[in-house]
A and B are shown apart, each in its own frame.
Chain A
Amino acid sequence: MSRLTEDNVRVAHEIISRYPRPRSATIPLLHLAQQQDGYVTNDAIRHIGELVGATSAEVLGTATFYEMFKFEPVGKYLVNICRTMSCALMGGEELMHHAEHRLGIKAGSTTPDGMFTLEHAECQAACTEAPTLQVNYRYRFRVTPETFDALIDDLAAGRLDSEIPAHGTVARIRQHIPAERGVGAVPPEDATNAPSWMTVAEAPK
């Protein structure tokens, strides 16, 4: 049983309401499900399909396209070490080698205590700070074996709990559009004229 909880269904409806088409909320809702359970369960996929008006197969098709979605449990901390060019030039491969030894697992697997999952990552958009890694999508820059070890120690000891939430939570701040301020979604079929501030009329083709 891991459909979205009542609270999360409320969040889901708020997210859906911002889009002209419910389907657009698919990825945000998959994140919501992953935040709830740590990974995306089949029940959640089915539930999201119901919420956005898609078949389970369609939601699955979307979900599996994107690498952040996991379909089985991963560690509390997902450690992604970049291996694309800039990081590779600056020792990314050696860092991964060190990480594998430090954690005692091969990239792509999880420590037996369920704390760490280690993965190769592609470019993290911090190329000047190579080599980089992310723990649950929080950056660490110019990582050395020593800073890596210190990071693992800190994570294991819970010293970074306030900075790095458990896997599944990406942003901890959500957008909220206050009802009295929001314009509302603009469905493609609803607006047939230029918006009100466009004073110069265009001749339709």
Chain B
Amino acid sequence: MTGTTYTHAPGFVAGDRPQIVTARFQYEDSYTLERALATDGYAGLRAALSRSATEVHDEVKAATVLGRGGAGFPAGTKWGLTPAGVWPRYLVVNGDESEPGTYKDRLLMERDPHQLIEGCLIACYAAGLSQCFLYIRGEMALAQERVAAALNEAYAAGYVGRNILGSDFSLDIVLHWGAGAYVVGEETALIESLEGNRGMPRLKPPFFPAAIGLYGKPTIVNNVETMANLPWLMRNGSAAYTAIGSATSPGTRMVAVSGHVKRPGVYEIINGTTTFRDLLYGEEFCGGIRDNNELKAFVPGGGSAPWFLPDQLDLPFEGRLIGAAGSMAGSGAVMVMDDTTDIPNAALTLTRFYAHESCGKCTPCREGGTWLMRILDRVVAGQGTHRDLDQLLEVGATICPGDFPHASSERLGLAAVPFPYKMTTICFVGPSAYTPVHSALTLFRDEFEAKLVKRTFIPVTAVSVSETEAAL
């Protein structure tokens, strides 16, 4: 197996590929200002400051840096959506990484906080954002420490704060940290949380943060990895950036592959062209399914994404293609299930997650998510009935009316239903509780049926008492 791992960056696997955001990971002291400065640190900022803000913004637009948080919206375009003439504008950097399967932003914060800080500075300079809030997930103690230390160093060295590098660009970057709520990763909930409130999403529209965001002012919310791309982009230019990856998904992206593979890890892959087969079976990536088992299914883009089957292995990691195939690229998180996996139970671990993380604001998610979890729990425990399986789909239809996206399956003779779904909720947490249920039940209904209570004819003489009890 090729690929290099470092004990100081657990999970990260370097390979013989371009490294836009992970180049510094090879150094054990990659998080220090000293190391950053020795390896082009803040050179991207200098490059940016030597040009006008508009030119920097245009450069980012030309590179089509897709948002790495989940929705995949181009950052340069997002920056341009603020209403003209409305000031001040804020930047909120989303480091509340908590989508099941996702592990990348934490590494970027722990291993290279200066790259992140540099990216924030470039974004604020380009888009005219007056203050930056870096929201780190509450449970990430080390990331908070590393970013705090890096900010303290960067302030002292003149990279952040008043008149940065002697220019008239002045910016405070404020480290903010959460306290344990998945839904805060949703950008409007993130803003609510940053305002000191319960992290309950606001309805979009009308509250698109770019127009009405933090304190009611235009606010850009970008993911940590998105920011981390900017220093390289500024140093090397958009042409170099778009030379990597596909036309619609340029550059690289961080993808975490977890579950039943030989070498689970975080990989910086070429965006848009690397296929799932490469990722799961390639020697430089995961090297195949553990114990050489068969692949049963995989989640391509974080726990919220509908599941894929081996049928989809040759799809490249590209947002539009994955969407057409019935799922989403999401947050760059692949969770792999081999043929030993108890599918209903696997679905339960995700549905329970989303039910637990519902903020409680809107009815379908608050009541429907828990309801789904309770039914599924019963089914997994061997207490379900056929009615329960139908009920799961019926409750789901209240959360997501109409056709629900799923993958195609040759085995089942199913054609794909493309992403996205319709929803009766404010945000995607409610639908995400249903997604694993729908995927699992659509693609592996037989496994659910095998768990149902059997109330058919049971000859008394033929079974032992314990077996009868088990059946009931």
Contacts and interface: CB of A to CB of B under 8 A. Distances in A.
- Taking the complex as a whole, does A directly touch B, i.e. does some CB pair lie under 8 Å apart? yes
Interface of A: 18-21, 23-28, 30-31, 52, 54, 61-62, 65-69, 80, 83-86, 88-90, 121-130, 134, 136-139, 141, 170-178, 180-188, 190-200, 202-205
Contacts of A170: 138-139, 141, 144, 177
B359 A128 contact: no
Contact of B105 (A125, A195, A197, A202): A125
B87 A122 contact: no
A19 B196 CA distance: 11
Interface size grouping (class) on chain B: 35 or more
B341 interface: yes
B245 interface: no
A191 B87 CA distance: 6
Contact of B168 (A125, A191, A197): A197
Interface in B192-212: 193-200
B349 interface: yes
A128 B265 CA distance: 5
A170 B345 CA distance: 33
B106 A126 contact: yes
User: Which of B106, B131, B256 has the largest number of chain A CB atoms within 10 A?
Assistant: B131
Interface string B288-313: 00000000000100010000000000
Tell me what chain A mostly uses at the interface: helix, strand, loop, or mixed. Answer: loop
B426 interface: no
Contacts of B129: 195
B161 A182 contact: yes
B158 interface: yes
Interface stretch (B59-67, B93-101, B367-375): B93-101
B335 to A, nearest CB: 5
A9 B10 CA distance: 37
B88 A188 contact: yes
Contacts of B158: 181
Given A18-B174, A173-B152, 11 more contacts: A18-B172, A31-B138, A86-B101, A88-B346, A122-B100, A182-B162, A183-B172, A186-B131, A194-B87, A195-B128, A195-B130
A188 to B, nearest CB: 4
A196 B167 CA distance: 10
A202 B84 contact: yes
Contact of B53 (A90, A198, A204): A198
A128 B266 contact: yes
Interface stretch (B38-46, B178-186, B232-240, B400-408): B178-186
Contacts of B197: 23, 26, 61-62
Contacts of B442: none
A203 B105 CA distance: 37
